[in-house]
Amino acid sequence: MTSATLNSSGFNPSPSWGFEPKKVQRQAKNGGFDVERAYKITKSINALAKKVDTEWLSMPKQERDYLRDFAYAELNEDGQIPSSLFVKIRAVIQILWWKVNGKDEALFGIFDALHELIDNILDQLEREDPSWNSELEDSIISAKKEFPCLR
């Protein structure tokens, strides 16, 4: 998914969130943060992840659509974070560069916060899907049958 797709919802995340997700990702990939800014962004992302977890249904539809597109844009076709050899090599080089420049802890905070945000978005999207509730119910029933201690 491209940034044009993300912007198709008409939602502008910067004013309400205090950061723009795609800009944060570009800067993080290039190591373009000072440590103080990285901690502020991490705090904002964590706050948004909590908001997604607790207030999803009361969020405006445009904002939810933007978040959905953002989360899907971060996954590859298999629904996983890309793991090609090229991506892994590039990640190792970036990590070494951040380590040498003393930015590794702050930047890993951003990546952890983004991971939490994406997980929370995907959790909410699953809950919106009617088939998810039925699958969850079936799984609980199966687990109770298989493991009597859960009754």
Domain limits, the chain: 3-150
Q: Would you state the pLDDT for residue 3?
A: 44
* DSSP-derived secondary structure letter, 129: S
- Mean pLDDT throughout 60-78? 81
**Which pair of structure tokens corresponds to residue 76?**
């590859």
**Quick one: what percent of the chain has pLDDT higher than 90?**
13
Q: Do residues 5 and 69 lie in contact, with contact meaning Cβ atoms separated by under 8 Å?
A: yes
Determine the length of the chain.
151
Highest mean pLDDT (candidates 1-10, 14-23, 126-135)? 126-135
**Among 28, 25, 36, 27, CA closest to 3:** 25
5: nearest Cα among 87, 67, 56: 67
Most confident of 2-16, 29-43, 50-64, 115-129: 50-64
The CA distance from 53 to 58, in Å, is 11
Average pLDDT value for the chain: 75
Going 146 to 148 to 150 to 151, the CA torsion angle's sign is positive
Each residue of 105-132: pLDDT tens digit? 777 787 788 889 989 998 998 888 878 7
Name the residue among 44, 46, 28, 26 with its Cα closest to residue 120.
46
